Amino acid sequence: MSMRLQHTGLVVADLDRSRRFYAEALGLEEVPRPSNFTFAGAWFRFGEDEIHLLAEADTTGLAGVPDPGSSAAFGLSGHLAFEVQDLDAACARLEENGVPLIGGPMPRGDGVTQVFFRDPDGYVLEFFQWTNEDQSGAPERAPVRE
Protein backbone atom coordinates (compact mmCIF):
# COMPACT_ATOMS: atom_id res chain seq x y z
CA MET A 1 0.00 0.00 0.00
CA SER A 2 1.34 3.39 -0.99
CA MET A 3 0.44 6.48 1.00
CA ARG A 4 1.68 9.86 2.13
CA LEU A 5 0.47 12.36 4.66
CA GLN A 6 -1.65 14.95 2.83
CA HIS A 7 -2.89 17.21 5.61
CA THR A 8 -3.09 17.75 9.33
CA GLY A 9 -6.31 19.04 10.88
CA LEU A 10 -6.14 21.28 13.93
CA VAL A 11 -9.15 22.39 15.98
CA VAL A 12 -8.73 26.08 16.83
CA ALA A 13 -10.53 28.31 19.31
CA ASP A 14 -10.36 31.55 17.29
CA LEU A 15 -10.30 31.02 13.52
CA ASP A 16 -9.39 34.61 12.62
CA ARG A 17 -6.48 34.68 15.07
CA SER A 18 -5.18 31.32 13.82
CA ARG A 19 -5.66 32.31 10.17
CA ARG A 20 -3.48 35.41 10.76
CA PHE A 21 -0.85 33.32 12.57
CA TYR A 22 -0.48 30.70 9.83
CA ALA A 23 -0.53 33.32 7.05
CA GLU A 24 1.57 36.07 8.65
CA ALA A 25 3.85 34.39 11.20
CA LEU A 26 4.47 31.23 9.16
CA GLY A 27 3.91 32.66 5.67
CA LEU A 28 1.69 29.78 4.50
CA GLU A 29 -0.60 30.17 1.50
CA GLU A 30 -4.33 30.02 2.26
CA VAL A 31 -6.17 27.89 -0.30
CA PRO A 32 -9.90 27.43 -0.99
CA ARG A 33 -11.94 24.86 0.92
CA PRO A 34 -14.78 22.84 -0.61
CA SER A 35 -17.83 25.08 -1.03
CA ASN A 36 -20.24 22.56 0.51
CA PHE A 37 -18.58 22.59 3.94
CA THR A 38 -21.05 23.81 6.57
CA PHE A 39 -18.49 24.49 9.32
CA ALA A 40 -15.97 27.32 9.61
CA GLY A 41 -12.35 26.64 8.82
CA ALA A 42 -9.34 27.60 6.73
CA TRP A 43 -6.89 25.55 4.66
CA PHE A 44 -3.22 26.39 4.20
CA ARG A 45 -0.78 24.81 1.77
CA PHE A 46 2.99 24.54 1.97
CA GLY A 47 4.60 22.52 -0.79
CA GLU A 48 2.47 19.42 -1.31
CA ASP A 49 1.13 19.37 2.26
CA GLU A 50 -1.74 21.17 3.96
CA ILE A 51 -2.90 22.26 7.39
CA HIS A 52 -6.66 22.40 7.85
CA LEU A 53 -7.86 24.69 10.62
CA LEU A 54 -11.23 23.66 12.01
CA ALA A 55 -13.24 26.17 14.03
CA GLU A 56 -14.77 24.67 17.13
CA ALA A 57 -17.29 26.79 19.03
CA ASP A 58 -16.91 25.01 22.35
CA THR A 59 -13.13 24.55 22.44
CA THR A 60 -11.82 25.38 25.88
CA GLY A 61 -8.26 25.95 26.97
CA LEU A 62 -5.12 25.27 25.01
CA ALA A 63 -4.56 22.15 22.94
CA GLY A 64 -2.67 19.65 25.07
CA VAL A 65 -0.42 22.17 26.80
CA PRO A 66 1.94 20.41 29.24
CA ASP A 67 3.36 21.99 32.38
CA PRO A 68 5.93 24.70 31.59
CA GLY A 69 9.46 23.36 31.93
CA SER A 70 8.50 19.73 31.34
CA SER A 71 10.18 17.85 28.50
CA ALA A 72 6.85 17.80 26.67
CA ALA A 73 6.63 21.60 26.83
CA PHE A 74 8.79 22.07 23.75
CA GLY A 75 7.94 19.25 21.45
CA LEU A 76 8.84 15.88 22.93
CA SER A 77 5.11 15.33 22.76
CA GLY A 78 3.08 15.69 19.57
CA HIS A 79 4.08 18.54 17.30
CA LEU A 80 4.23 19.63 13.66
CA ALA A 81 7.66 20.21 12.14
CA PHE A 82 8.48 22.46 9.18
CA GLU A 83 11.83 22.21 7.41
CA VAL A 84 13.15 25.68 6.54
CA GLN A 85 16.13 26.78 4.48
CA ASP A 86 17.05 29.71 6.75
CA LEU A 87 16.32 29.13 10.43
CA ASP A 88 17.51 32.62 11.43
CA ALA A 89 15.09 34.25 8.98
CA ALA A 90 12.25 32.00 10.13
CA CYS A 91 12.94 32.91 13.78
CA ALA A 92 13.09 36.61 12.88
CA ARG A 93 9.67 36.31 11.26
CA LEU A 94 8.29 34.72 14.42
CA GLU A 95 9.78 37.52 16.53
CA GLU A 96 8.32 40.19 14.21
CA ASN A 97 4.91 38.60 14.79
CA GLY A 98 5.30 38.41 18.57
CA VAL A 99 5.71 34.62 18.69
CA PRO A 100 8.13 33.55 21.45
CA LEU A 101 10.31 30.46 21.19
CA ILE A 102 9.67 27.81 23.84
CA GLY A 103 12.76 25.77 22.99
CA GLY A 104 15.99 26.20 21.05
CA PRO A 105 17.70 26.90 18.90
CA MET A 106 19.31 23.58 19.68
CA PRO A 107 21.40 21.19 17.62
CA ARG A 108 19.83 17.75 17.40
CA GLY A 109 23.04 15.80 16.81
CA ASP A 110 22.29 14.59 13.30
CA GLY A 111 23.00 17.81 11.42
CA VAL A 112 19.73 19.53 12.30
CA THR A 113 19.13 22.66 14.38
CA GLN A 114 15.60 23.12 15.67
CA VAL A 115 13.39 25.61 17.50
CA PHE A 116 9.96 25.15 19.04
CA PHE A 117 7.06 27.59 19.44
CA ARG A 118 3.29 27.52 19.84
CA ASP A 119 0.42 28.56 17.64
CA PRO A 120 -2.41 30.62 19.19
CA ASP A 121 -4.20 27.45 20.34
CA GLY A 122 -1.16 26.01 22.07
CA TYR A 123 -0.13 23.46 19.44
CA VAL A 124 3.64 22.92 19.51
CA LEU A 125 5.30 23.69 16.17
CA GLU A 126 8.92 23.21 15.13
CA PHE A 127 11.14 24.86 12.56
CA PHE A 128 14.28 22.91 11.68
CA GLN A 129 17.19 23.41 9.30
CA TRP A 130 19.83 20.97 8.11
CA THR A 131 23.13 22.52 9.15
CA ASN A 132 25.58 19.98 7.74
CA GLU A 133 26.43 20.59 4.08
CA ASP A 134 25.79 17.07 2.83
CA GLN A 135 22.59 16.66 4.87
CA SER A 136 23.78 13.22 5.92
CA GLY A 137 21.05 11.59 7.90
CA ALA A 138 18.34 13.37 5.90
CA PRO A 139 15.61 11.07 4.60
CA GLU A 140 14.82 10.98 0.89
CA ARG A 141 12.34 13.80 0.39
CA ALA A 142 11.20 16.50 -1.94
CA PRO A 143 13.20 19.75 -1.75
CA VAL A 144 12.05 22.54 0.56
CA ARG A 145 9.85 24.96 -1.35
CA GLU A 146 9.86 28.71 -0.85
Q: Which CATH class is domain 71-130?
A: alpha beta
Check residue 79 and give its pLDDT. Answer: 76
- Asked if pLDDT for residue 94 goes beyond 90, the answer is yes
Report the distance separating Cα 16 and Cα 9, nearest Å.
16
Per-domain residue ranges of the chain: 7-55, 71-130
Q: Which of 47-61, 90-104, 118-132 has the highest mean pLDDT?
A: 90-104
CATH H-level superfamily of 7-55: 2,3-Dihydroxybiphenyl 1,2-Dioxygenase, domain 1 (3.10.180.10)
User: Do 7-55 and 71-130 share a fold?
Assistant: yes
Check residue 69 and give its pLDDT. Answer: 46
Supply the DSSP string of the chain, one letter for each residue.
------EEEEEES-HHHHHHIIIIIS-PEEEPPPTT--S-EEEEEETTEEEEEEE-TT--S-SSPPPTTSGGGGTTSS-EEEE-S-HHHHHHHHHHTT--EEEEEEE-SSSEEEEEEE-TT--EEEEEEE-STT-TTPPS-PPP--
